[in-house]
Copies of this chain bind each other. A is one copy, B any other.
Amino acid sequence: MKTINVALAERSYPIYIGGKTLDNSELINKHINSQQVLIVTNDVVAKHYLEKVERFVEHLDYDTYILPDGEKTKSLANLELIISRLLENKYSRTCTLIALGGGVIGDLTGFVAACYQRGVNFVQIPTTLLAQVDSSVGGKTAVNHALGKNMIGAFYQPQAVIADTDVLHTLPDRELSAGLAEVIKYGLIRDELFFIWLEENIEKLVQRDEAALTYAIERSCINKAEVVAEDERESGLRAILNFGHTFGHAIETGLSYQHWLHGEAVGCGMLMATDLSVRLGLIEEDNLYRVESIIEKAGLPTKVHQSVTLEQMLENMKVDKKAKDGVVYLILLNSVGNALITADYSSEALTETIEKYLQ
């Protein structure tokens, strides 16, 4: 088992990565200082892993809250319902929430933990690759608004993250690919050697080679932890983690969060961001082919879903959280392994990039 520390002073916490971490009851109980525990999960994950997690807390006053699988679950309405349950059961400010699931469950449960009585403890048990390498690490919590993804949320850190690589065996292929999008992202934005390793090992990852997956998760978490430790609340550097996300969010909003997984939208978004970087003369064109190749091999879409239009893309990008006084900042590439944040691009170049990837 590997332990990575997210260094945030009094809000520091460990990420445990490895096989069978979900069979180790000591690991989680070190981080629960409470008699009252609520496990939040979804119906798909519950079938596979809820019993395991219940065994950890059976000596405590615990309860479970099972939500439908899917992005629509990440709503203010569900936040209110979970809080109703906590209040009905008289859960106090010292209770602990456990998020057992992918990014949707982690983001929603984390935001409930941030808001309930102005903040209670929570532990993340991510069960998708995407959640293990990205959403469970760094304290971004949120729910969606009909007019924009993750628009209502908080920066709020968990007590611990427990990533069991064994759970990836039950993950559908599309979800694995979606997670690989974020893994590839770390290589592109700040870790050239990791990107080269990924180019050589992408087939192994798709085939779920255990050693390759463990290494990829570890390097991803180290990269993310370093960025978050430097800029917890995204006042600068942290924004590079959004590489591909401004395009991706615009696609997701255009699809009303249906049809595509978040990672699929990010994968396609990274292509678009790389294409724009080439168009602006920031990087050589051959890098675009490298990105196209790895995105394709990872099983991710290389064109925007057919129902999304240019107008939708441009409109949806305007409400991106990185926008400042109406100007949309984008994360682009200076080279493979080196990202920059800029608003220095023409609307013509942006339009050309979007049109190239529309169907």
- Total interface residues on A, using CB and 8 Å? 42
Give Cα A148–Cα B80 distance, bound, in whole angstroms: 12
Which parts of A234-248 form the interface with B (CB within 8 Å)? 234
A119 touches B155 (CB 8 A): yes
Q: Is A83 an interface residue (CB 8 A)?
A: yes
A325 touches B36 (CB 8 A): yes
Please give me the 7 A-B residue pairs with the lowest Cβ-Cβ distance, nearest first: A87-B147, A92-B323, A35-B325, A117-B321, A118-B153, A94-B324, A115-B152
B80 touches A115 (CB 8 A): no
Q: Is A145 an interface residue (CB 8 A)?
A: yes
The complex is assembled from copies of this chain, and their number is 2
Give Cα A87–Cα B146 distance, bound, in whole angstroms: 10
Instruction: For A75, give the chain B residue with the smallest CB separation.
Output: B80
Q: Is A34 an interface residue (CB 8 A)?
A: yes
11 A-B pairs besides A93-B323, A115-B152 with CB distance below 8 A are A84-B147, A87-B145, A87-B147, A87-B151, A92-B325, A93-B321, A93-B324, A115-B115, A117-B153, A118-B153, A118-B234
Give Cα A87–Cα B117 distance, bound, in whole angstroms: 26
Q: Is A185 an interface residue (CB 8 A)?
A: no
Q: Is A76 an interface residue (CB 8 A)?
A: yes
Pull 27 A–B residue pairs with CB atoms less than 8 Å apart, ordered by A: A34-B325, A35-B326, A76-B76, A76-B79, A76-B80, A80-B152, A83-B151, A83-B152, A84-B147, A87-B145, A87-B147, A87-B151, A90-B318, A90-B319, A90-B323, A92-B321, A92-B323, A93-B323, A94-B325, A114-B154, A118-B140, A118-B150, A118-B153, A118-B155, A118-B233, A118-B234, A119-B233
Give Cα A12–Cα B4 distance, bound, in whole angstroms: 32
Residues of the B chain whose Cβ atoms lie less than 8 Å from the Cβ of A36? 325-326
A115 touches B154 (CB 8 A): yes
CB distance from A157 to the nearest CB of B (A): 13
B155 touches A92 (CB 8 A): no
B118 touches A154 (CB 8 A): yes
B322 touches A93 (CB 8 A): yes
- Output the residue of A88, A118, A326 with the most chain B CB within 10 A: A118
Residues of the B chain whose Cβ atoms lie less than 8 Å from the Cβ of A147? 84, 87-88
Fill in one digit per residue for A322-359: 1 if any B CB lies within 8 Å of its CB, else 0. 11111000000000000000000000000000000000
